[in-house]
Structure 1
Amino acid sequence: MTSSSLRDDDAPDYSYMQRVKVYKLNENGTWDDKGTGHVSVEYMEQSDAAGLVVISEEDTSTLLIHRISRDDIYQRQGADTIISWLDPEIGTDIAISFQEAIGCNYIWGQIQTVQEEYCSSKGEVARAARRVVDEFDVSGPKAAEDCFQDSGSGSIEFPCPDMNNLPEVVKIITDVSSPMAHEKVAACLVKKGYLRKLLDVFRTIEDLEDAEGLVLTFKAVKGIVLLNDTTLFEHLLSDDTVMDVVGALEYDPELPAKQDHRAFLRDSVVFKEVVPITDPAVRAKIHRTYRIGYLKDVILARVLDDATFSTLSSLMLFNNVEVTLTLLNDPNFFQELFSRLHSHEPSKPEWQDLIAFLQELCSIAKYLQPVHRQQLFNTLICNGLFNVLTLAVGAPVPKTRLFALDILLSSLHQEPSTLRNFLNHQPNHELFGLLISGLVTSDQDGVQEQTLEILRLLLDPESVETSVNLFLETFYDKYVDQLVGALAQCLVKQPEGGDSSTPARPPSSASTLGLIVELLCFCVKYHSYRIKYYVLRNNVVEKVLKLTQRPEKFLVVAAVRFMRTCIGLKDEFYHRYLTKNNLFEPVMDAFVTNGDQYNLLNSSVIEMVDFIRRENIKSLIVHLMENFGTKFENITYVETFQELKIRYEQLQEGRGMQLPPGTTAPEALASAARLLPQTAGPGFRGIEAAAALCEQRTQRRREARMMDKDEEDYFSTGSDDDEEERSAGM
């Protein structure tokens, strides 16, 4: 290259970035579309100010002329593609909607720069406006001619890429700030092979072992990456340039030693094909995607900004989606995949690699369009997906089980009825049994949590499909007993004749018991009559409340949460069941034992009691006060229990001290005696005090009735007098 600089004769057209729609708010409060055009910042001689000008793309007429205000009247909206303001000159709201976010960013930056120039020029408005427009004008032919423009000066062209000009190249790349400048620099690097020539300079410097030059090339390549241009990334990560790019990034001056990334990519990375991919374009895209991930997560993990990180992640996602769609359109690929899954033993590494590939495929599927996502899962299911997953869930390798559960979750999020139908009709319900046993007995991290989520989705009755009812019948007939049975054995018991120094180990871990209670809470909340009668027949609440005797506080809280779920339904069935069997006792014992410690157990019990009071659940209020009122009297750090007592007294007054069926007068007096304040004197206690309290309440009610009778007589008398007057008048 003989010329000392690159020319920009074929610079790209950036006008699409400034394409906008102009809107004006009318009197009815709706936006009127004034047309589509291109916006620019221009100097307006009549007002000696910089302004926004929009020229129509249809007839080149002027759609908008707005003088940029020095006041803070501009706002960004609509995911950073809309700029709106209240125009003080016409008193109307104006909005311009950009086709591209980068164009919105650019115009927004110009508006801010104009306002800053106004503030700094101290009255020299015209000169400031001309200077700003001269700096940022991209609407005329000059925009297409300039490859890069520095603030306040003429155009700066890239020098010839050689060792002597390397510092200047680095300065140009690293000094850009605005998004439009990024675009221009990226365009200059791509065209006429400038990037390739710059990487050839790196090869020469590396051969010469020039330490200073290697640091400069590192800064240049890092700056090129941070330009965050997708077209530039395609060139950086292509087969003929990627190794040189990675090599330049090995010489980071902030690291103590050179990083040998090229050797790792060349010698250690192995492309594993579980199923042969014959399309070379797909293979190339897979390789490029891996390089993007390595660049993002390893080489430049410390220096990437959020915008560049997001762009690289999006490129990886788009590549993965494109690869998936290409494979989906291959009629032989999935047949070969499942043929290998059916022919290999689950214990072999090849089979585990196939399951891992299937899991990655399903994880990418969530980003496909709904039609393509449904097509993918239909293809997998038709080839026997659930039969393969039955083997994978029961596989001895923990990682394979996790992959299988993740695939099941992806399938459920797409179409739950398909898996329900399979579980309903599979011989011996093998997969269903594996899921239940995985929740109850598995000790692998992550398996139980994923299994719980799968069972929740399967047991969700919100669907109107007939498969839901059949599935619930299977669950309650065959599998819920396993969950409740684990709770029944939750306490550690020493076997007779055993060594007392080695206590027996419970069959289920504490975390397992917590997950089982969480699933039962879900069933109580959503399964109405099925779980209701199961609870009655099998004493489920008593078994759950055994957890209050466990030393793990979170299990005690789980038991309280289960009772709170039952109460929250406000079903008299549960209320009678809880009071008849005195099931509040273990909860209140745990609450009293906990003392006034401010923890989750304390808060959960207080919230449950407060809920009973707020919802005015009369049977529970009476039960709590008559059985635990003495315990509540000493709890003064919250007002919940005093308020519960007041509510109880109101209920008793409302009953008129009528004795409930089966209650004797002495029992009622004893109950009233428990409500007396602690400050009562020595002579105001026991049965006498209760009788006095009853007499006071009876007297108040008698006076109220007498008052009502007097009022009734008054109005009756008034009515008779009126009748007599009307008769006399006639």
Structure 2
Amino acid sequence: MRSRDLPPCDVEHLDEILLVLKTSHPTVRSKVLKDLTDKDGAYIVKLLDLFDVCELDADKTVLHKLFDIFYAMLEMCNRGVIEILLNETNFISVVGVFGYNPGLIREMDFRTALEGDGGFQEVIPITDRRVVERVHMNFRIQVIKDNVLSRSLPDGCVLLLEHMANENNFHILSFISETEDYWKSIKDLVSSSDKRVDGLGLLKAIISMARVTKPLDRPQRREPFGARPVFGSFIDDLFSDGELFAAFGTILGSPDSKPMEVALAVDILNMLVVYQGPDRLRSYLASEGKCIPAPASDKERITWTPDSSLFTALLVVFERNEPLRIQLFNLLREIFRVPLGQDDKFLSVFYPNYMHWLLQPLKNNAFVPDESAMFDLQDSIMELLTFCTENHGYRVKYLFGRQPIATYAEKMLRSTNKLFVIHAVKFVRACAVRAEAFFSRFLIQNDLFTPMLANLEIGKPNTGAVGSVILEVLSFIEKTNLTSLVEHIYTKFYETYKAECPLVFEAIRTRHDGNTGSEDVDMSSADANKVQFVRAGSIDDEEELYFEKDTEPTESSPEFTKNGLSEEEVPCQNRPRSIKLVDYDDDDDESTTKKENISTDLISTSPRGADIEEEERELKLPVRKKKEDEVDTQSFLGGSNVLAQKKAQQSSKKARSPQFKDVFQKISWKLGTPNSSENGSSSTTPAAEKIGGNNSDGKQDDSNSNSVGSDDAAGVDGGNVESAALAAAKRKLALEEVTNSESLLKKAKTCTPISSS
């Protein structure tokens, strides 16, 4: 695209000029910008002269077109063009052009205020003219960005203007910080009485500028709130000697100070505390001295004298200057927010010397003639006291012992002002938050819950702010389980207020019952009648779920069910300390023998004797006694001698029933299968199935057992054959004892029943 020259500056070519500025191709944009800035902006000056002529004719159409042309120049976001528009000779005319904004309901006249006496005022002369030009440029940028085009300025132009202002601020602050005479003159102005307002305004402007200025060697980004400014060291140098703080004390405390001076001093202190932290001001307050004596009576008010401290002046303004009270409240709260490691010096000065003066308005309602203003003062004091209760340590306890704090709180709780009551309830909650016995005794002994709960309306829904904050305090006490407060509320107020909020008071009752150990909580009949057991030494969840299953009751001998024989159940309350998982050989033999004899007699009379005997023998396999039953494998191969010995042992013992011998024989052979050593704990399941479901296998086992001893005992009768079969079964059990012991011990340790594995 071929570049072309700008159209001539006349009324007939205004549309062409606007078209060129708005639709210029990027390739020819540089040519347009060059034509606008050539010869110190001669083309722009011609357009401004045309505006002055058209303004005399009062042709609104032409004036609106000129506004669009100059607004298009701003949209190009070129620094050279903007500097020409905002220079000293063109600025007033440019402001006049932007006053004819067609988007406004009526034209805005900004030039009248700028052309009058309210322009730039140089409080302290600046010798460097380049710094003065930067100050003037910042002023014009602020006028355009914040006033003339505050809502219609393009975003790109806003960023460019902010960057230009930050660069100017950096150079201005550099000049002030490097010129010692300049900031010494600032201190002299603040300390003087005739130009104090100008000095305070200049100091506030410098601190505001230092707060927002960023370095120039890194891109612009949003800093976190409260970050230390670039020229923080310069601000520290201004306040390091304490001269300005002493001047602020005079300004705040003196009755001759003007309201504007007091407001500026309070603003400066708030800026220092919020944006640089309260450490410097707190250190000065702790070290300045000049403490005043304690009040002699309840009607005495704090007063300032030339020998008084800055802390005294702050309390005077807090008590008597209602418009600035909220600012003083925020300032004092930040000062009182002392870290635990730094609380000794400041708090040791504050509590003995100034705390009683801060609480003095709570003793008498005649400090302020207006009742609403008095309520506001006392409410602010109680909120500061609540903050101190939450954040300060042992000094608050001494304060509670020396000052009638409970009387102040009770008076506020009985007040008709709802906001007053809410802040008093917040004080009660602050005492509960400390979770210390001292504060619990303080609330109980002074009976602060009675006036607090008296604000709950009986028989009506307590859905207001007062009722909500009271119920929140009760809920907090219940959740944190402050036992003394829970007991006090339950024993004294439960019956009276339980119908007003059942949810909160029932929770308090439940918490009280849990603390005292009573079990008044309702239980269902099924849970009440159910006796819960756990297996001895077992904490596994799967094993707990195993015993939750319902077992089928038996008609006779219920104590010998499968679960009853396989595991030992004890109540939860009587769980033994140590439980033996396996009955080893060194245990008491006599008790084991007695148990076997008793179980044998019971099994012989039970209708299900065969099945029970089978399961019992499976369980008794790991605890067999080797003294009687162990058979030497090498000697067993000798044949008849061993069988003769076993025959003598069997004949000396009491004869067992045929049914018992037959069942034991089947169990012994089924446990002696080759698969038992390989399958571990699962080897007993097929054995149990074969015993009950296949009689032919049992017959085959009997024939095999007879054939084992046929060489040496051919002429033995039927009883001897059974004895030989028993000996053969025991021999095989002895051979496989080593392989089976490991799997059986695993079952015993996990309390898994053999018959149900």
Q: TM-score, normalised by structure 2?
A: 0.61
Which of 324, 345, 349 is the equivalent residue of 1:470?
345
Output the CA distance in 2 between the equivalents of 1:375 and 1:165.
54
Structure 1 residues 621 and 203, CA, compared in 2 at 3 Å: closer, same or farther? same
Deviation of 1:278 (Å): 2.2
Matches of 1:175 and 1:191, distance apart in 2: 18
Deviation at 1:425, TM superposition (A): 3.5
**Is the 1:161–1:198 contact (alpha carbons within 8 Å) kept by the matching residues of 2?**
no
1:400 maps to a residue whose letter is E
Q: d(CA) in 1 for partners of 2:27 and 2:442?
A: 74
Q: Give 1:6's aligned residue.
A: none
Structure 2 Cα separation of the partners of residues 308 and 622 of structure 1: 67
2: CA distance, partners of 1:593 / 1:158: 87
Alignment of 1:43-192 (within 5 A): 154=1, 157=4, 159-163=6-10, 164-174=12-22, 187-188=33-34, 190-192=36-38
Q: Is 2:155 the partner of 1:336?
A: no
Rounded Cα–Cα distance in structure 1 between residues aligned with 2:449 and 2:288: 42
Deviation (angstroms), 1:699: 13
Deviations 1:305-345 (A, max 9, x none): 45544543454444334322212211211222223333x32
Q: Which residue of 2 aligns with 1:265?
A: 114
- Alpha-carbon distance between aligned partners in 1 of 2:477 and 2:204, rounded to the nearest angstrom: 47
Query: Equivalents in 2 of 1:393, 1:185: separation in Å?
Result: 60
- Distance in 1 (CA, whole Å) between partners of 2:65 and 2:345 is 70
Q: What residue in structure 1 maps to residue 513 of structure 2?
A: 649
Shift of residue 718, structure 1, vs aligned partner? 9.9
1:397 equivalent in alignment to 2:230: no
Any conservation in 2 of the 1:170–1:220 contact (CA below 8 Å)? yes
Q: Structure 1 residues 182, 290: CA separation in 2 closer, same or farther (over 3 Å shift)? A: farther
In the aligned structure 1, how far is the partner of 2:330 from the partner of 2:442? 30
- 1:574 deviates by 0.9
Q: CA deviation at 1:521?
A: 2.0
The offset of 1:379, in angstroms, is 3.2
Amino acid aligned to 2:261: T
Check conservation: 2:37, 2:81, Cα contact below 8 A.
no
1:532, CA displacement in angstroms?
2.0
Contact kept in structure 2, 1:202 and 1:214, CA below 8 Å = no
Q: CA deviation at 1:378?
A: 1.0
Matches within 5 A, 1:366-377: 366-368=211-213, 370=229, 372-377=231-236
- Partners of 2:578 and 2:187 lie apart in 1 by 93
* Equivalent of 1:487 in 362, 369, 378: 362
1:432 to 294, 306, 311: 311
For residues 149-178 of structure 1, give each alpha carbon's deviation from its aligned partner in whole angstroms, at most 9, with x where no partner exists. Answer: xxxxx46645334223321221233457x9
List aligned pairs for 1:498-513, cutoff 5 A: 509-513=374-378
Amino acid at match of 2:6: P
Offset from partner CA, 1:110-133 (integer Å, 9 cap, x none): xxxxxxxxxxxxxxxxxxxxxxxx
For residue 422 of structure 2, what is the aligned residue in structure 1? 557
Structure 1 contact 186–227 (Cα < 8 Å) conserved:
no
Deviation at 1:525, TM superposition (A): 1.7
Cα drift, residue 186 of structure 1: 7.6
SS of alignment partner, residue 454 of structure 2: helix
Which residue is equivalent to 2:282? Answer: 420
Q: 1:189 to 1:326 in 2, by over 3 A?
A: farther
Indicate the residue corresponding to 1:591 in structure 2. 456
Do residues 196 (structure 1) and 42 (structure 2) align? yes
Partner of 2:209: 364
Letter of the 2:339 counterpart? E
Counterpart residue type for residue 364 of structure 2:
Q
Counterparts of 1:186 and 1:420, CA distance in 2 = 59
Instruction: Please report how far the alpha carbon of residue 419 of structure 1 lies from its aligned counterpart in structure 2 after TM superposition.
Output: 2.7
Percent identical pairs in the alignment equals: 22
Shift of 1:304: 2.4
Given that residues 6 and 32 in structure 2 are in contact (C-alpha distance below 8 angstroms), is that contact kept between their aligned partners in structure 1? Answer: no
CA contact (8 A) 2:187 2:243 kept: yes
Check the 8 A contact 1:218/1:249 in 2, yes or no: yes
Residue in structure 1 matched with residue 500 of structure 2 by the alignment: 635
Q: Relative to total residues, which structure has the larger strand share, 1 or 2? A: 1
Asked if the contact 2:478/2:511 (under 8 Å) is kept, the reply is yes
Picking from 230, 247, 251, the partner of 1:388 is 247
Shift of 1:239: 1.8
- For residues 233-244 of structure 1, what are the structure 2 equivalents within 5 Å? 233-244=82-93
Structure ranking higher in helix proportion = 2
Structure 1 counterpart SS, 2:180: coil
After superposition, residues 435-584 of structure 1 pair within 5 angstroms as 435-443=314-322, 445=323, 447-462=324-339, 464-465=341-342, 468-489=343-364, 509-584=374-449
Contact 1:545–1:586 under 8 Å retained in 2? yes
- Give unpaired runs (5+ residues) of structure 1: 1-153, 494-502, 657-674, 678-692
Measured after TM superposition, the shift of residue 205 of structure 1 is 5.1
Q: What SS does structure 1 have at the residue aligned with 2:469?
A: helix
Partner SS, residue 265 of structure 1: helix
In the aligned structure 2, how far is the partner of 1:185 from the partner of 1:464?
66
Question: Which residue number corresponds to residue 67 of structure 2?
Answer: 218
Name 1:150's counterpart in structure 2: none
The answer to whether the 8 Å contact 2:18/2:69 transfers is yes
Separation in structure 1 between the aligned mates of residue 31 and residue 329 of structure 2, nearest angstrom: 53
Q: CA deviation at 1:220?
A: 0.6
Superimposed CA distance per residue, residues 252-286 of structure 1 (whole angstroms, 9 cap, x where no aligned partner): 34556654433432234333222222222222222
How much does 1:713 deviate?
A: 11
2:263 and 2:198 map into 1 onto residues whose CA distance is: 13
Label 1:360 to 1:205 Cα distance change in 2 as closer, same or farther (>3 A).
closer
TM-score, with normalisation over the residues of structure 1? Answer: 0.63
Does residue 355 of structure 1 match 2:234? no
User: How many pairs are equivalent?
Assistant: 519
- Choose which of 580, 587, 591 in structure 2 pairs with 1:723: 587
Q: Report Cα offsets for 1:473-496 as digits up to 9, x if no partner.
A: 111001111232322335x89xxx
Distance change (3 Å), C-alpha of 1:267 and 1:712: closer
Work out the CA distance in 1 between the residues paired with 2:473 and 2:109: 61
Letter in 2 for 1:197: Y
| SS of match in other structure, 2:500 | coil
Gaps of 5+ in 2: 215-228, 292-308, 535-569, 593-624, 628-757
After superposition, the Cα gap between the structure-2 partners of 1:569 and 1:420, relative to the gap in structure 1 and judged at 3 Å, is same
Change (3 A) 1:425 1:725: same
Paired letter, 1:437: V
* Alpha-carbon distance between aligned partners in 2 of 1:710 and 1:254, rounded to the nearest angstrom: 88
Distance 1:483 1:448 in 2: 13
Match of 1:672 in 2: none
1:449-487 Cα shifts (integer Å, max 9, x gaps):
22223223332321745xx42221111001111232322
- Contact 1:567/1:575 (<8 A) preserved: yes
The residue type equivalent to 1:204 in the other structure is L
Change (3 A) 1:553 1:593: farther
Bigger radius of gyration, 1 or 2?
2
Alignment partners' CA distance in 1, 2:184 and 2:351: 37
Structure 1 residues 643 and 183: CA distance shift in structure 2, 3 A:
farther
